[in-house]
């Protein structure tokens, strides 16, 4: 502390630009000389000329300027890290919060410390939420590790909330102009989007891939929209880096198409359900290749809508709206059909499974639990296959000496990591059968496995799995297994909410929320439901409350929860979740689809559509999120003054 106080720093303040739209204008302050126009990447999809022709002949067009504002991920605890030198081995031990322990180790060893990977061991304990923010090696982690190696002492850094707001990665920050060309019946003839995605002042992890690639993957949603033209630019500003945040590009993209469908329905005079049904991908079109070249293997989109409509009591809305009006409240309904691309680019995962002489089964996995309940799900799967009691099974994650895998990002843990778990259970049984055949002096084909016992068929000669383990080196029977899936999974669903607004204060409140979610085969429906609850809560936060703000000089104005609002428990209504497994995934043997990001993808457009529906009677057609009380109150006041 004394040394820190002795340091005097003089800052040479330079011009700043914090708005990505302003950053691409001529004369804007330059973030890095290597990108004099502040543009670091660009992508285009589709056929501009054909889209222009379709717009020229369209019966209807609709256009919106849309913003998915910058957000701060909010885990239960800020980041922290401890580095020390192991006294016995001389290796560096890094205790850190990471969704991807293996890549954290590799980047630290090779890129930062310039030392062999096996000289570093990364250990990750319990994490109170990752949300994508904890996929990177942060500068603080590298500094702590470097200091530990130089001083041969245990070094610790623990951030506070302001450290997290200022120095952690943020999410979203996409600005778009989007438009539909439609025929008389509401069929979309062409779809045009121009977007600017902000990376902040540094390119962290997937900062450029998120707007340039991952968003366009799902920008056509669950709809048959083959004629598109998407232009996306990745732009730097003098702000904190933007990185992965629950959904990473897909919430922004689905927000665009779902807001457009509601705006189009209102302009044409169509029911929001009807216009979606006209444009849904039909079952006969599956597997369906969308405009970005992504293949949807399964889905039943009209079915999901119809179930949600019934469960949400769609026909009772008019009575609820009338009752709200008597109280002086505005009342609206939001509808969204979403789809999600999950799995990342890594379609394989490795695990090790061990049966021990102590009568336990131990799984080592490179995926990382951070609140999803992976230990429970993996334990269920192993128990079901091996016929072993769940309390005899240990799931160990977060140790790079025990397992090296891709980690937990992009809702891949269950359908990719779980596939590896399923393979390992089968591999362990097969290896045990081979060992038992030797012990019992018979052929492998004559060995039957059931409930931890290996028996010679038709006899009472048997040996337990754990007795076999006792005879092995180290008193454990082990297999190293790899699970592979054929491609990403495509969870999808329909969300319906109802929102009431107090016109005197501008306060919007979600009072009903119903979802029907296709996650394929759900291994543990209760855990899946919890994931959707959490995602919807974050979606409500994005729609109504949350937003990062900088002043013109690049000073962060929302540097704590005193200035950055997230939803509290009483801001979230009871969420009625129904899981639908009528269209299991075809790209993995479990039939499972990712589920961790679904609520955060369907939530923001659903709630926003609900607020805009409530305001529609006043002639208010577009507001950008967050739909704060001040913003809504001012819009109501302006509309009444104009009317």
Q: Could you tell me the pTM of the whole model?
A: 0.96
Q: What per-residue confidence (pLDDT) applies to 106?
A: 96
DSSP run (H or E) holding 465: helix 465-470
Q: 337: which strand partners?
A: 494
**Position 243 in a domain:** no
Do both 543 and 590 map to the same domain? yes
Residues 622 and 576 in one domain: yes
What CATH number is given to the structural domain containing 386?
3.30.365.10
The 3-state secondary structure of 145-185, one letter per residue: HHHHHHHCCCEEEECCHHHHHHHCCEEEEEEEEEEEEECCC
> For the chain, how many structural domains are there in total?
3
Is-contact 166 559, C-beta < 8 A? yes
CA–CA distance, 546 with 554 (Å, rounded to integer): 19
Note the pLDDT tens digit of each residue in 583-639.
Answer: 999 999 999 999 999 999 999 999 999 999 999 999 999 999 999 999 999 999 999
| Whether residue 378 sits in one domain with residue 506 | no
**Quick one: how many helices (H) and strands (E) in the chain?**
18, 22
Q: Is residue 35 part of a domain?
A: no
- Taking the CB of residue 47, how many other CB atoms lie within 10 A of it? 16
3 falls in which pLDDT band (50, 70, 90)? confident
Residue 4 has pLDDT above 90, yes or no: no
DSSP three-state, residue 459: coil
pLDDT of residue 643: 76
| pLDDT at residue 98, as a whole number | 95
Average pLDDT, the chain: 96
Strands (E), 419-475: 447-450, 453-456, 462-464
> What's the pLDDT score for residue 588?
93
pLDDT digits (tens, 9 = 90+) for 519-536: 999 999 999 999 999 999
Q: Based on the fold, state whether residues 366 and 315 are members of the same structural domain.
A: no
Contact yes or no for 311/512 (Cβ under 8 A): no
Domain extent at residue 148: 80-159
**Do 599 and 508 share a structural domain?**
yes
Reference 178, options 143, 145, 225; nearest CA is 225
Band of residue 2 on the pLDDT scale cut at 50, 70, 90? confident
For residue range 138-150, what is the model confidence (pLDDT) as tens digits? Answer: 999 999 999 999 9
Residue with tokens 């729609």: 543
% residues pLDDT > 70 (the chain): 100
pLDDT for 237 equals 98
Q: Give buried/exposed letters for 310-342 (b at 16+ CB in 10 A, else e).
A: ebbebeebeebbeebeeeebbbbbbbbbbbbbb
Q: From 435, 456, 484, give the residue that closes a domain.
A: 484
CA distances to 248, 256, 290, 533, 596 from 411, rounded to whole Å, are 11, 22, 21, 15, 5
Rounded to 5 degrees, what angle do the CA atoms 382, 383, 389 make? Answer: 145
Let me know if residue 610 belongs to a domain: yes
Looking at the fold, whether 363 and 457 belong to one and the same domain comes out as yes
Q: What is the pLDDT of residues 322-363, one digit of tens each?
A: 999 999 999 999 999 999 999 877 789 999 999 999 999 999
């Amino acid at each position: 502390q004394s040394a820190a106080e002795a340091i005097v720093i003089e800052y040479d303040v330079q011009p700043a630009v914090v708005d990505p739209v302003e950053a691409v204008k001529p004369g804007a302050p330059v973030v890095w000389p290597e990108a004099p126009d502040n543009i670091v990447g660009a992508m285009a999809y589709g056929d501009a000329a054909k889209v222009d022709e379709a717009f020229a002949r369209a019966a209807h067009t609709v256009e919106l300027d849309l913003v998915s504002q910058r957000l701060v991920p909010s885990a239960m605890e800020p980041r922290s890290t401890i580095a020390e030198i192991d006294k016995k081995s001389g290796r560096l031990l890094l205790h850190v919060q990471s969704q991807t322990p293996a890549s954290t180790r590799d980047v630290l060893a090779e890129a930062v410390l310039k030392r062999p990977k096996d000289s570093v061991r990364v250990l990750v304990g319990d994490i109170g939420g990752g949300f994508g923010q904890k996929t990177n090696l942060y500068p603080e982690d590298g500094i702590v590790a470097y200091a530990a190696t130089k001083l041969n002492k245990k070094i610790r850094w623990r951030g506070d909330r302001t450290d997290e707001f200022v120095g952690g990665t943020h999410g979203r920050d996409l600005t778009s102009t989007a438009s539909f060309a439609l025929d008389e019946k509401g069929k979309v003839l062409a779809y045009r989007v121009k977007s600017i995605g902000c990376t902040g002042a540094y390119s962290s992890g997937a900062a450029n891939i998120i707007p340039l690639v991952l968003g366009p993957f799902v920008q056509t949603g669950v709809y048959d929209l083959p004629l598109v033209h998407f232009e996306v630019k990745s732009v730097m500003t003098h702000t904190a880096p933007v990185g992965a945040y629950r959904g990473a590009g897909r919430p922004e993209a689905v927000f665009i198409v779902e807001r457009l469908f509601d705006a189009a329905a209102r302009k044409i005079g169509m029911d929001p359900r009807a216009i979606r049904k006209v444009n849904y991908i039909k079952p006969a079109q599956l597997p369906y290749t969308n405009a970005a070249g992504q293949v949807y293997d399964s889905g039943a989109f009209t079915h999901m809508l119809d179930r949600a409509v019934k469960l949400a009591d769609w026909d009772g809305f008019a009575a609820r709206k009338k009752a709200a009006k008597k109280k002086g409240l505005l009342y609206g309904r939001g509808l969204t059909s979403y789809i999600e691309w999950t799995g990342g680019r890594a379609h394989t995962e490795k695990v090790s499974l061990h049966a021990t002489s102590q009568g336990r089964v131990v799984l080592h996995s490179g995926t990382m639990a951070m609140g999803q309940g992976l230990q429970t799900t993996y334990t269920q799967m192993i128990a079901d296959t091996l016929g072993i009691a769940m309390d005899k099974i240990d799931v160990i994650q977060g140790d790079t000496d025990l397992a090296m895998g891709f980690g937990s990002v992009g809702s891949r843990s269950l359908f990719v990591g779980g596939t590896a778990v399923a393979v390992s259970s089968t591999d362990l049984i097969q290896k045990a059968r081979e060992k038992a055949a030797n012990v019992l002096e018979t052929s492998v084909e004559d060995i039957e496995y059931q409930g931890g016992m290996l028996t010679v068929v038709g006899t009472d000669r048997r040996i337990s799995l754990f007795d076999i383990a006792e005879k092995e080196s180290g008193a454990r029977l082990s297999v190293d297994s790899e699970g592979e899936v054929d491609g990403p999974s495509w969870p999808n669903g329909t969300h319906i909410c109802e929102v009431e607004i107090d016109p005197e204060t501008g306060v919007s409140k979600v009072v009903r929320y119903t979802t029907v979610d296709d996650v394929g085969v759900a291994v543990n429906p209760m855990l899946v439901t919890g994931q959707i609850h959490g995602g919807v809560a974050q979606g409500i936060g994005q729609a109504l409350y949350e937003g990062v703000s900088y002043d013109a000089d690049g000073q962060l104005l929302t540097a704590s929860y005193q200035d950055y609002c997230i939803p509290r428990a009483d801001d979230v209504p009871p969420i009625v979740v129904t899981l639908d497994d009528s269209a299991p995934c075809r790209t993995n043997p479990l039939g499972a689809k990712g589920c961790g990001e679904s609520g955060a993808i369907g939530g923001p457009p659903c709630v926003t559509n609900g607020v805009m529906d409530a305001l529609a009677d006043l002639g208010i057609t577009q507001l950008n999120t967050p739909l704060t009380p001040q913003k809504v109150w001012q819009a109501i006041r302006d509309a009444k003054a104009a009317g």
